[in-house]
Structure formats: C-alpha cells, structure tokens
Amino acid sequence: MAGNAWVCAGQGAQFIGMGKDLADRFAVCADLFRRADEVLGFKLSDICFTGPEESLTKTSYCQPAIFVVSVACYTTLRELVGRDPAVTGMAGLSLGEWTALHLAGVVGFEETLRILEARGRFMQEACDEQAGAMVSVIGLPLDALRGICEQSGVEIANLNSEEQTVLSGPRAGIERAEQLARAAGAKKTVLLKVAGAYHSSLMRSAADKLREVLAKVVFRAPGIPVWANVTAQPHGDPDAIRQAMIRQVTSSVLWAGCVNGLKHGGATRYVEFGPGRVLSGLIKRIDSQAETLNIQDVVTLEKTKPVLAG
C-alpha cells in the first residue's frame, strides 16, 4: 500500500486563472476565496482569476494567492473523498512550507494569510533595498558550487536535487557565478525571473520584520510531521517552528533532503497541491520510483480522487 505525502507549491508556480474552476464548482472553495478577500482587505480572488499578471507576480499578492489555491485544492479533495486520506508526512517549498504547516494544524487559515501577505511585502522591500538575483545551475557537484560561491560572493539558496542547485546573491555576484559555473562544466544555467536574492543574507531585513510578526502568532504542534526547509528534518515544538520559519527567509531550502526524509518515512506517492507541477518534477529527479500526482484544477482533482479514494 502506498504511503502518501503531501507537498505544497512555492512561489513561481502561479498563473492567471488559478483556482477559478474550483471556486466555480465547489462552494467550499469559493468560501475560502471569500474569506481571503475579507481578511486581506482586497480582492485576492480577482487577482488569482483574472490578473493582471503584474499584480499576481507581486510577492505580497503572489504568496497568499498560491497559499489559498493550494488550500482550496486540498479542501476540495477532502470534500470529494469524504475523509482525510492517510498521509505519512508533508513538506512545501519556501512559502509552500507555510501551507504544509497550516494543513498540519500549526497555524490557522486567516493567520497564515496575514503572515504570507506580510512575508511577501517584507521580501519585496528587501529586494528594493539591494539589487539581487538568482541562477539555477544544473549538472555541477555541491563542492564545486561551494567554491564558486566563495569566489563570487553568493550563497546557495535551494538544493533542489543532486542535479539542480539555485544560487542567490548580489546581481553582479550572480553574473560572475554563472560565468564560473559554465566554465566549470555546468550542463545548463538559467537566470531566474525573480525580484531579488531570496533565501540569502540579502533578505536579512525581511527576516527581522517577520520575527516581529511571528512573535504575536500562536503556533501549535503539528498533527502530521512537516519537514523543515532549513534542516530537512521534521519540525519540532511550536517555538522551534517559529524560529525555523524566521531562519527560512535567509537560509538554504534543503528540498532534496526533505523529499529523502519523506521517502525514508514511508512515502511512495506524493500529491502536489497548488498551481503547476514543479515539485512533482523535482521529486522524480530525487526518487525515480516515486509516484507523483497533482491537484491544481478540476481536471487534475478528478484524476487524483479515485487513486486516493481507493
């Protein structure tokens, strides 16, 4: 019998129209968007459903938007199946970790919305303070990349798989790192279309501001193990979760370690909640034997439902 793991989408997976067909068909999903609009004080639903793209990609909108869509995907699955399918653990990529924590009962829906709106706003402010960039490097070992980071003054932002690592830092440093990576024999490098240097020390001001917000939030122990981006280990007690989520803003995302941890915990099937299939693709690179499913709309919901209902 397959062990199920839930994984939750991160920033960059958004697209105009996400969540609309779910909200049109399921009242419980429409209610989530209504509540989000009320909590945030602006029409997040309109930004998700009709854009414009400039608004949807703005971090203070994008982060709560992906969160609400991901929760809607999970909620409609549970509605159709009539129960919570058994799950061995959860994880999420960057902002997706907040979604996983919510689904595990650590932080409430409205609280998470407010956190992510603030988190996105703080991160955008940090981007405006210092010009940063990120580059994805495919096909270089970690030791070589660490050397490149030292030479160029950048940092490792994401360990996505053995093949793919993302570097983050000052724009000039990233340009230098990309040159060094190509010279070292990287199979491919891609400059990412992002506003700044996420998951690096350039996000320090965002982390400091988020610390003040999270000090007022009540965290609860997770009902299901949630794997932490910063340690690739299950989250601990509520205060440890709070501290880990502050560190996450400036620390490397150990995604490959999280997936390997879920695998060793018994996961053989991964269900990705939220827009896109980015995580499913990364999981396949980490564990070629894994079964991956995703729910991002009515079509994928109907496809996934009978597998989990069984």
Instruction: Given the residues 152, 199, 235, 280, select the one marked as catalytic.
Output: 199
Cis status of the peptide bond prior to 52, with omega within 30 of 0 = yes
The DSSP line for 267-285 is --EEEEESSSSHHHHHHHH
Could you give the CA distance from residue 197 to residue 250 in angstroms, rounded to a whole number? 9
> Beta-strand (E) ranges in 129-246?
132-138, 155-159, 164-170, 188-191
Neighbours of 129 (CB within 10 A): 14
Active-site annotation holds for 152: no
Q: Please list, in sequence order, all residues whose beta carbon lies within 8 angstroms of the beta carbon of residue 55, skipping any fewer than 6 positions away.
A: 47, 61
Instruction: Given the residues 94, 161, 168, 280, select the one marked as catalytic.
Output: 94
Could you give the CA distance from residue 140 to residue 163 in angstroms, rounded to a whole number? 7
Active-site annotation holds for 45: no
Neighbours of 303 (CB within 10 A): 12
Query: Which residues are annotated as catalytic?
Result: 94, 199
